[in-house]
Structures are given as C-alpha cells and as structure tokens.
Amino acid sequence: MWDNPRLLNLAANVLFAVALAILGAAALQTLVRSPLFPVREVEVQGALKHALRADLEHAAAGLGGNFFALDLRAVRGRFEQVPWVRHVDVRRVWPDRVEAKIEEHVALARWGDDALVNTHGERFVGRNEEALPFLAGPAGSEALVAGRYRRFVEILAPLGESVERVVLTPRHAWQLRLASGLTLELGRDGTESVEQRLARFVAVFPETLGRLARRDAASFPHVDLRYPNGFALRVAGWKG
C-alpha cells in the first residue's frame, strides 16, 4: 500500500474528509450553544379575532435562546395550546427573530354542552358569543355531523328555513330542528339516504304544510320522515 501512490492519495483524501466532518460538527455544536446569536423577538402574525393577545404573549415568553438551537416544533406546540389557535407556521428570520403565523379556528357550530366545532369538522374548546347552531353526536363523529349539517342547510334553502339543531343519536339516527321550531325525524341511512328524505319533504312542503298559516305551525312541531312514500305529523291536541 505504501508503495501505491494512488491508494495513498485516496487514504489522504478520506482522512481529510473525516477531519473536515469532525471540525464541521464541532463548529456546529459551538454555534448551537453560543450565546452570540440570541432570539430577541417573536412576531405573531395573522388575522386574530378570538385568540387573546395576553395568551399569545405568554406562549411566546421564554422562547429566548440560541437562534440556531431553537426547537420550532416545540414553539408551534406552545402556540397551538392557546384557545382558538388551530395551526401555527413558525420560521426563523435572520438574525434574531422568529415569526409565528397563526390560523384561528372558524366556529361552525356549538358541539354538545362544552365545545365548538370548526369549519373543518374539528372539535375544539373556546368561548363564543355568537348565536350558533347546535350539533351533537357520538365521540369522533364531529366531521360527519358538520358535513351533514352543511348539506341539510343546502337542501332546506328553498324553504327559507335555517337549521338550529342537528343530532346524530347513538343508534345513528338523524334528528334536526329548524329555527321555526319544527323538528324533523330523519332516521337512519338505508336504501334511501336521509338527504333524499329531506329533499322529498322540501319538494312537497309548499302543497302540504306550507299551506297552513304560520300561526298554526306550533300545532305540528314534529314531523316524522321515516316513511318511503310520505311523512307523519305529530299534531298537538290530537290523540290516537
């Protein structure tokens, strides 16, 4: 080997590359631990309506440290713990700044007694002062119920009715209540979907219930749509 210039050159090149790698790693460790590159500013960006500035400042507090060593995933996690914050994009900005771009939840409805559901069908906790519809269902059904709520709103649009409440029962039956107080029992999906039943009701409404005066609406607060060729009314004061 010692008499082979080609092998000697190759070995020298390998040793030189190893030495450079070691020096580079040492330099990187020194840079990461150095106090010479502190994070001096955390800038929060985004159109914020609900997330409290004090909560965001608290999340940003204590993020000082080395610009290169800062754990961006941990920073994002701290901000995403703030109520109403859905997602955060975090990036370093040379030489001493961190930008956190905040995306808030957009509330679609109330979920159960103590939560909200956003426009992505995700459950979250937050206080809201707006009048929102009420949605409920088994655990994990938030996206399904939110999607059905949107579809019900579209189907009922020709009647000028708004949906006040949508419930998916543990037996996977659908119930909804309109702002007028009318409750619709849609049942479960089968050979006919609940959307088809609701659309059929909307189609015949003008010639049936729509003919009744508004003052009589309170007398039939419940409509059962679980019939293949019609629907049934529960009329106040009627027996049998």
pLDDT tens-digit map of 19-31: 555 544 444 454 4
Q: What pLDDT, on the 0 to 100 scale, is given for residue 4?
A: 53
- Do 59 and 147 fall into the same domain? no
Enclosing domain of residue 147: 107-234
Last residue of a domain, one of 104, 123, 155: 104
- Do 98 and 170 fall into the same domain? no
User: Which CATH number does the domain housing residue 195 bear?
Assistant: 3.40.50.11690
Dist. CA 179–CA 189, nearest whole Å: 24
Q: How many domains does the chain have?
A: 2
- Do 184 and 210 fall into the same domain? yes
For the whole model, what pTM was predicted? 0.78
Give per-residue pLDDT as tens, 139-174.
999 999 999 999 999 999 999 999 999 999 999 999
Let me know if residue 14 belongs to a domain.
Answer: no
33, containing H or E segment? helix 5-33
Last residue of a domain, one of 104, 130, 158: 104
Nearest to 135 by CA among 158, 181, 162, 144: 144
Give per-residue pLDDT as tens, 76-114.
999 999 999 999 999 999 888 899 999 999 999 999 988
DSSP secondary structure code for residue 207 in this structure: G
Q: What pLDDT, on the 0 to 100 scale, is given for residue 98?
A: 92
- Do 63 and 139 fall into the same domain? no
- Residue 238 · residue 216 · CB < 8 Å: no
Give per-residue pLDDT as tens, 45-69.
998 999 998 999 899 887 766 777 7
Dist. CA 20–CA 50, nearest whole Å: 51
What would the two tokens of residue 17 be? 């590359």
How many CB atoms lie under 10 A from the CB of residue 185?
18
Q: What pLDDT, on the 0 to 100 scale, is given for residue 24?
A: 46
Q: What pLDDT, on the 0 to 100 scale, is given for residue 217?
A: 52
